[in-house]
Structure 1
Amino acid sequence: MDAPFSMYGPDFPFAYDHWLKHPEGLGRIPVNRHGAKVAIIGAGIAGLVCGYELMRMGLRPVFYESGQLGGRLRSASFEGAEHMIAELGGMRFPTSSRSFYHYLDLMNLKTAPFPNPLTPAAGSTVIELEGERFYAKTLSDLPPIFQEVAQAYDSALEEGAHFSSLQAAIQRRDPNAIKAIWNPLVKAWDERTFYDFITTSKAFRHLSFRHREIFGQVGFGTGGWDSDFSNTMLEILRVNVTACDTDQHLVIGGVEQLPKRLWSHEPEDLSYWPNGTSLQKLNQGAPRPGAAKLFRDPEGLYVTDRRGHTDRFDAIVCTCQSWLLTTAIDTQESLFSQPLWMALDRTRYMQSAKTFVMVDRPFWKDRHPETGEDLMSMTLTDRLTRGTYLFDHGPDQPGVMCLSYSWMSDALKVLPLDAEKRTELALSALSKIYPDVDIKSHIRSNPITVSWENDPNFLGAFKGALPGHYRYNHRMYGHFMQQTLSPDHKGVFLAGDDISWTPAWAEGAVQTALNAVWGVMNHFGGQSSLANPGPGDVYPVWGPIDLDELS
């Protein structure tokens, strides 16, 4: 029986899920370093996973958080209905995210299929483009042009990226085969866009602009792709080949439960701390205020919080978005090399906006009296809403509607607007697609909305790498390998999905957090078991290709 498909590479094919589950554990810290303090900047999923594993090794993680515990794993409850959730950040998690699911399982959290377009979980899908409306339960229900687009993209991936062979190598967890296919793709596609990949492929070249337009507006899997057209094709290939865009699940009860449970969980296999220890208890109940200053002197590394308190540490793990190291935190320039600063500052974040309402019941499952179709469906459109998702909690329970989920320029259109105005615009757009449905009469809540680029602790939803950014990503991702760095550059580690090769996916945040765990362990003189080598042990062999060595 094949192992579960995993985000195993392709840039760095390392089995993080196997490392986590091995009976030898992740590694050990020398006894004389037990209890040493490590500052964790940011209490999102990367910071919490890193702190949790360092605590198990016997270190004392000290958290600094300027906003809300959980970061972009944020589940907002509707007033008076705490069990009704609006997922403001991450809301759909591919089952290939095996390391992320390790922690879901550890915290006894359950998942269910996410209602993506044309999936059984959605029930039905409506696609409306340029005023033309199509109702479907599967791809085969749509007009032939949609199937032609889907087939063309499959062919383009096969032609341009040896897709089936690469995915088969990932399924087998065969690093030699993965690197033999992936490394040449890095060289070929680092400086070319997703749109370039589409338009120059044989599969799309003979098709019309309308085909490319449909692909951009609707796409397949999670929806439209046009907001990613300017990104490097490598970023899209990673999403496709590691199955990030298929078999996605939601977390029942809200994904914010995961960071909250990690914060309070009391593991039984601690190396130094007594039973009953948790991150919450080691931090006297709550994270410290956000970090305001990071610096080093001959005595060590220091963090000053926003209340002016300064504390000394032997290591720091920064999990905040990289721009904050220049815009919100007074970070001593000498902590990082100038090439790394270039990479951190060149990170480009994408915009995103969501608007949710709670409704009296899942009325969308009613049958239209004339057509017999579902009254409403998961909806993809070129209108302002772009994507509308419907969450059913049972026939006798209220439901939740994500009226609008939009990206980039579509998200910017509503950036200055308050929640009520966003709702009004979304309802107006949907009324043109469903003229017989009075959505407003079913709403039973104030709307909940988010624009991550408007949050000073984030400045965007997640990274979207542009052509030519591979070298920058390589510098950030590989920074946990500090053996050859000068002393002035050692001891500060980076983690988070914007440091990873897979921004926007929680798995990338978890994997980089585990890299930082290995890096901190090595920094303190610890090591992994020979029977369970960690990411830093095999990085010299299987690490990402270095384009600078090829230029």
Structure 2
Amino acid sequence: MSNQKPVTAFGPDFPFAYDDWLAHPAGLGSIPADRHGQAVAVIGAGAAGIIAGHELMKLGLKPEIYESGKFGGRLRSEPFEGTEDVIAELGGMRFPVSSRAFYHYVEALKLESRPFPNPLTPAAGSTVIDLEGETHFARTLDDLPQLYHEVAAAYRAALEEHADFTALTDAVRNRDVVRLKAIWDPMVAKWDERTFYDFVVSSQAFQNLSFRHREVFGQVGFGTGGWDSDFPNSMLEILRVNLLELDDHQRFIVGGVENVLHCLWRQPAICAHWPEGTTLAALNGGATLGRAVKISRNDTGGLTVTDLWGVSRDYAAVLVTCQSHLLTTSVAVDEALFDQKLWMALDRTRYMQAAKTFVMVDRPFWNDIDPATGRPLLSMTLTDRNTRGTYFFDNGPDKPGVICLSYSWMTDALKVLPYGPEKRVELALAALERIYPDVDIRSHIRGNPICVSWEADENFLGAFKGALPGHYRYNHRMYGHFMQGEMPMEQRGIFLAGDGISWTPAWVEGSVQTALNAVWGIMTHLGGKCAAENLGPGDLWPTVGPVALPD
């Protein structure tokens, strides 16, 4: 078993090896010399925008980055007041090692990562599960009651029964495209219109168990915690998470994941056309442009982007990485730029809510041992109370620590939407004090709390996509939009990227892969191509692209 290849985020819908494409010495491709220096617009300075901008710069283009809010998008690392490196990860915070395209940049920038303190992992040290007032302490699954073992075994059995999961995993592990598509493609039609909950309750393993088992599965789930918020989602969305091990072997970026983008912004690269030492920051004069408020076709056949100050600039191509609903609420986009079926997909995409509440504390006091029990004072905590998930971040015994008091989704996130930071902290502390009645958390808190509700941010309108049953066709239209060779001319030259465009929303790997699709699309749109020995995603799309479902 130790000689097995690792699982990577390879497919399953489009099995293209983005990590190999990035690492190949031939590079991603080239554009004609007469296109060198040409400006292209990138809307959004998040992961997709900055990574695409970096690669477009290397091709010899001049990416001009527009940002309506904060640099970094949903890779947002917020420092606590008075500190430099004590941070709250408000967006993405845990990154599975299967995300090989993302780690290509992390490793190139020589940034450090460490295991994330997920439940029942060595990084967490210990875990407390508190459901319906009953509390269990555990270091591994073996420490939990039999019911939890039955739930875990039932879900593994359901994956085998409904999804031929071992064979699928082997195909992903071995990058066996033929075998992978032979198993996955028929499952698309079978499970697109059925929910996660349907998958669970229709399995023989769960039918043999009680409602309580299903309830515990919803509260505790697998990997990172409870999944009941995802019960209404298309099962395809959950299968991809399981299959690509996105919920396993996760790490965090030391100092904050936002540093990946700041470093890439300032990272010199070997570029066509541009002189040695060129950076994305330098090409943008050291700062991004402001909010883009309009995208339109101009008289020369190119595209024009107008910013919030009324300044219009012309571009050979435009890459849009913002949340899709902003294209009908915040940015005035010429309707003719997208096919009406694509507009349907962009508008019908459903986004999930998420809220986090963080506090800084004087030290990692949760590691103190309770003399009465011999256990740490506090543990990573999963509960049905308001907090849902509580995580602890140890920066060293002599440095302030961070507690993510609460990470919640959907209904649980909406419960705190009207409240400010102090009220959210009070609600979280009240819940934790019921689980740990003898632990004084309050006296350790320093500074002001940091909170986020992504659905309340006008630049996001939600945390991440959560595809509903029947949304595969919408996802296919958005993801495949970079393939523009057969589109009418009036729809070419504007591209889409971001985790909401990907098959794997909420995971940064989806942002990276769709950004690279867009780089291939823009390169091809401008007359460029890949080296014959390092073909890109669009070159392989006709033979291994996602299966199409009939309209």
TM-score by shorter chain over 0.5: yes
Task: Give the CA deviation at 1:372.
Answer: 1.2
For residues 139-154 of structure 1, the aligned pairs below 5 Å read: 139-154=141-156
Residue in structure 2 matching 1:200, options 180, 199, 202: 202
For residues 83-102 of structure 1, the aligned pairs below 5 Å read: 83-102=85-104
Equivalents in 2 of 1:317, 1:168: separation in Å? Answer: 35
Deviations 1:447-479 (A, max 9, x none): 000000000000000000000000000000000
The amino acid of 1:131's aligned partner reads G
For residues 481-492 of structure 1, the aligned pairs below 5 Å read: 481-492=483-494
Deviations 1:288-336 (A, max 9, x none): 1110000003312100001110011110000001000000001110000
Equivalents in 2 of 1:363, 1:289: separation in Å? Answer: 43
Equivalents in 1 of 2:449, 2:522: separation in Å? Answer: 43
Question: Percent identity at matched positions?
Answer: 64
Report whether the alignment pairs 1:524 with 2:495: no
Residue equivalent to 1:298: 299
Secondary structure, counterpart of 1:446 in structure 2? strand
Contact 2:336 2:491 in 1 (8 A): yes
Deviations 1:246-302 (A, max 9, x none): 0000001110101101111111x2111001211111111111111000000331210
Q: How many residues align?
A: 548
Secondary structure, counterpart of 2:193 in structure 1? coil
Deviations 1:466-522 (A, max 9, x none): 000000000000000000000010000000000000000000000000000000000
Residue equivalent to 2:322: 320
The amino acid of 2:47's aligned partner reads I
Task: Give the CA deviation at 1:3.
Answer: 4.3
Task: Give the CA deviation at 1:365.
Answer: 1.0
Equivalents in 1 of 2:367, 2:263: separation in Å? Answer: 34
Equivalents in 2 of 1:540, 1:290: separation in Å? Answer: 36
Task: Give the CA deviation at 1:376.
Answer: 0.5
The amino acid of 1:462's aligned partner reads F
For residues 8-19 of structure 1, the aligned pairs below 5 Å read: 8-19=10-21
Equivalents in 2 of 1:382, 1:487: separation in Å? Answer: 53
Secondary structure, counterpart of 1:66 in structure 2? coil
Secondary structure, counterpart of 1:537 in structure 2? helix
Contact 2:7 2:169 in 1 (8 A): no
Instruction: Give unpaired runs (5+ residues) of structure 2.
Output: none
Equivalents in 2 of 1:274, 1:39: separation in Å? Answer: 21
Report whether the alignment pairs 1:275 with 2:271: no
For residues 411-450 of structure 1, the aligned pairs below 5 Å read: 411-450=413-452
Root-mean-square deviation over aligned CA pairs: 0.8
Task: Give the CA deviation at 1:2.
Answer: 4.7
TM-score (norm: length of structure 2)? 0.99
Equivalents in 1 of 2:205, 2:156: separation in Å? Answer: 9
Residue equivalent to 2:356: 354
Secondary structure, counterpart of 1:83 in structure 2? coil
Task: Give the CA deviation at 1:29.
Answer: 0.5
Equivalents in 2 of 1:292, 1:286: separation in Å? Answer: 18
Equivalents in 2 of 1:119, 1:392: separation in Å? Answer: 15
Residue equivalent to 2:510: 508
Residue in structure 1 matching 2:332, options 326, 330, 333: 330
Residue in structure 2 matching 1:46, options 38, 45, 48: 48
Residue equivalent to 2:405: 403
The amino acid of 1:350's aligned partner reads M
Contact 2:195 2:469 in 1 (8 A): yes
Contact 2:233 2:467 in 1 (8 A): yes
Residue equivalent to 2:217: 215
Equivalents in 1 of 2:155, 2:88: separation in Å? Answer: 32
Task: Give the CA deviation at 1:109.
Answer: 0.6
Equivalents in 2 of 1:395, 1:309: separation in Å? Answer: 52
Residue equivalent to 2:27: 25
For residues 153-192 of structure 1, the aligned pairs below 5 Å read: 153-192=155-194
Task: Give the CA deviation at 1:537.
Answer: 0.1
Residue equivalent to 2:80: 78
Residue equivalent to 2:313: 311
Report whether the alignment pairs 1:541 with 2:523: no
Deviations 1:132-162 (A, max 9, x none): 0000000010000000000000010011101
The amino acid of 1:180's aligned partner reads A
Equivalents in 2 of 1:59, 1:104: separation in Å? Answer: 23
The amino acid of 2:275's aligned partner reads P
Secondary structure, counterpart of 2:152 in structure 1? helix
The amino acid of 2:537's aligned partner reads P
Residue equivalent to 1:478: 480
Deviations 1:412-453 (A, max 9, x none): 000010000000110000000000001001111210000000
The amino acid of 2:240's aligned partner reads R
Secondary structure, counterpart of 1:444 in structure 2? strand
Equivalents in 1 of 2:4, 2:101: separation in Å? Answer: 17
Instruction: Give unpaired runs (5+ residues) of structure 1.
Output: none
The amino acid of 1:271's aligned partner reads A
Residue equivalent to 1:36: 38
Equivalents in 2 of 1:445, 1:75: separation in Å? Answer: 17
Secondary structure, counterpart of 1:445 in structure 2? strand
The amino acid of 2:221's aligned partner reads G
Task: Give the CA deviation at 1:172.
Answer: 0.3
Q: Which runs of 4+ in 1 moved over 6 A?
A: none
Equivalents in 1 of 2:447, 2:82: separation in Å? Answer: 9
Contact 2:355 2:451 in 1 (8 A): yes
Contact 2:353 2:454 in 1 (8 A): yes
Equivalents in 1 of 2:120, 2:108: separation in Å? Answer: 31
Equivalents in 1 of 2:398, 2:289: separation in Å? Answer: 43
The amino acid of 1:278's aligned partner reads T
Equivalents in 1 of 2:284, 2:188: separation in Å? Answer: 43
